[in-house]
A and B are shown apart, each in its own frame.
Chain A
Amino acid sequence: MTEPITGIVTPIRLDYRYTPGASTSQFLRSIKEGKLVGRRCPRCSKVYLPPRGGCPMCGVEFAEEVAIKNTGTMVTFAVVNVNFANRAVDLPYVTAEVAFDGTDTTTMVLLKGVAPEEARMGMRVKAHWLPESEWDYSLVNIDYVEPIDEPDADFESFKELL
């Protein structure tokens, strides 16, 4: 190697120590056991996943825990075609915003099992979890979602989530 140096790569790294509140702590302990648990706002009745301490719209504390299903609706998505550092999935792939059944929020998750050009808003999907031995205190336990054999959800039923 005799070419002059014209560029360098300097990795910058930060390790975060994250302290979850009571609500997120409960969510993380549940997901470690393979369960999705949201919380409902006592005023507007919306269910948040992951749950926070309180409802950002009503300003009141969440109370009731709500078990969330593994099925949901892909309310929107993006097809990723552009390469970037530390990418873990082959291009192109689909990043989905999924409203799991029983929630009024969406969660970003990888969509598999369908060609990117066949992804549709409203598509019904199911969570595919990592093997139980790999479960951690993380949403990453849901490896991806894949389509299920159900008719697409009606746009009116999820337009508020967009």
Chain B
Amino acid sequence: MEFAYTRSTGPVVGAFLTGLRDRKVLGAKDSTGRTVVPPPEYDASSAAPIEASTLVEVGQEGTVTSWSWNPVPRLGNPFDVPFAWALVRLDGADTSLLHALDAPRDTITTGMRVKVRWAAETVGFINDIACFEPVAS
């Protein structure tokens, strides 16, 4: 059974996805001074709406803060062979973004440096980030 959910993104998520289409990762400055990636629609501390116009670009390299090996990929996963899900704190961000990491299992460590691998064609979707990959050291 398959069903396509059509979702309106709202201004903030829409701006984030538009940024991905332009091969940029955007985050929100919240009232405590943290940069949150992906940007939320409301400030978690003050509950004030986040204005899409205030989003800032963050780096495309970052640090793995946690990861988990997915031994049995499911339909729709970024890879059809076993791979890692990783939380990546991009440079300039104070929170972590969840995405796939393309690296052999025995090379993955918390703290390793990774960077965005963009999809060949970007359309304004989270999969515009194909995955993260290790930064060559």
Chain A interface residues (CB < 8 Å from chain B): 1, 4-16, 85-86
**A residues in contact with B5, CB < 8 Å:** 9-12
Q: B53 CB to closest chain A CB, in angstroms?
A: 12
State which of A6, A9, A14, A15 has its C-beta within 8 Å of the C-beta of B4: A9
Q: List chain B positions with a Cβ less than 8 A from chain A.
A: 1-9, 14-15, 17-18, 21, 75-76, 124-125
Q: Are B9 and A7 in contact (CB under 8 A)?
A: yes
B2 near A8 (CB under 8 angstroms)?
A: no
B76 proximity list for chain A (CB < 8 A): 11, 13
Residues of B within 8 A of A13 (CB): 1-3, 75-76
Inter-chain contact B14/A5, CB cutoff 8 Å: yes
Residues of B within 8 A of A16 (CB): 1
Q: How many pairs of residues, A versus B, come closer than 8 Å at their CB atoms?
A: 52
- Assess whether A5 is in contact with B21, with CB atoms less than 8 Å apart: yes
In the complex, A10 Cα to B6 Cα: how many Å?
6
Contacting residues, chain A, for B124 (C-beta < 8 A): 5, 8
- Kindly name the residue among A1, A5, A12, A15 whose own CB sees the greatest number of chain B CB atoms within 10 A: A5
Q: Which of B3, B8, B15, B21 contacts A11 (CB 8 A)?
A: B3
CA distance A8 to B124 in the complex (A): 8
Q: How far is the CB of B52 from chain A (nearest CB, A)?
A: 9
Indicate if the CB atoms of B75 and A10 lie closer than 8 Å.
no
Q: Supply 4 further A-B pairs (C-beta < 8 A) apart from A6-B9, A10-B4.
A: A6-B8, A9-B4, A11-B4, A11-B76
Report the bound CA distance from A6 to B125 in whole Å: 11
Query: How far, in angstroms, from A4 to B9 measured CA to CA in the complex?
Result: 10
Q: Which of A4, A7, A14, A86 interacts with B7 by CB under 8 Å?
A: A7
Residues of B contacting A5 in the complex (Cβ-Cβ under 8 angstroms): 9, 14-15, 17-18, 21, 124
